[in-house]
Amino acid sequence: MAARPGAASRFGATDEPRVRRRGLLAAEWIKLWSLRSTRWVLGLGILILIALAVQSSLDTYGNWPDFGPQERSRYDPMSEALSGAGVALLMIGAGTVGALTIVGECASGLIRTTFTAVPARHRVVLAKAVVVAAVMLAVGVVASFSTFVVSQAILSGRDIGISLGEPGVPAVLAANAALAPVAALVGMGVGALLRHTALSVVSVCGVLVILPGFFKPTVHQWANELFGYFPYYGWHSCLSQLHPQKAAALPSTAEAWTGFALWPLLAVALTLVVVRRRDV
């Protein structure tokens, strides 16, 4: 008698669901990496971030003798690894890749074939989210550590570079690395909602970079608390610093990390709802 689909094997485990899960992940990996734009954006993006770190570190190296005592006491070597401009480029690039994973598939019609093969749409979305998050986390780790290494190597010539074991450095590196998967998953959610490449990219830039980038602490505490959960603002005001300033108008470390967790979770939830309820 033929074995039933999903039936337990002689080892007492159901193998088929695991194979299907691996197949979904493999398919999403192929679709993501087969996009030429993915390789260009990620490859050039990392090179640009390293170049920005080198330029910033060399500027500080050359100007260090002119720094006054107060400037030197407040100087944070981690600011050379990833600047605000570098993080903006990182989040825009990652958000663009995340949006294209949905928008590109919808535009080409491949999404119909995917859902025909896998009618359980939530499984496709979750597999896509896992692959996007894993790939962009790897990109974030490479960008975080490479910019840190080159910047501190240059600054060490002035004896102001720091090592990986310095207090606070691992936390900053982790925050730098996490920016890429956070932005990519948010981009995926925006792409699922709008299904238009240019509009999705502009929306990702506006929500994740432009809006929080221009925000300044105000007398309205509710606004300060709201923007404290924006990943870019939380990173810039707290997580990017070895010794973050503490004030009621600034986000705490807990608030900033909570924002890092909430945005991608909400984006994946939005993608699930949109994909399940909207025709392809």
Contact criterion met (CB below 8 Å) for 78 and 242? yes
pTM equals 0.88
- Mapped onto helix, strand or coil, the DSSP state of residue 218 is coil
> What average pLDDT does this structure show over 77-105?
91
Spell out the SS3 assignment of 79-135. HHCCCHHHHHHHHHHHHHHHHHHHHHHHHHCHHHHHHHHCCCHHHHHHHHHHHHHHH
65, with CB counted inside 10 A (0-12, 13-18, 19+), is exposed
Domain boundaries, the chain: 21-61+71-277
Residue 109: what pLDDT?
75
Per residue in 206-262, pLDDT (tens digit) is: 999 999 999 989 989 999 999 999 999 999 999 999 988 888 889 999 999 999 999
Whole-Å CA distances, 111 to 101, 151, 154, 186: 10, 43, 48, 19
Interatomic CA distance for residues 146 and 149, integer angstroms: 5
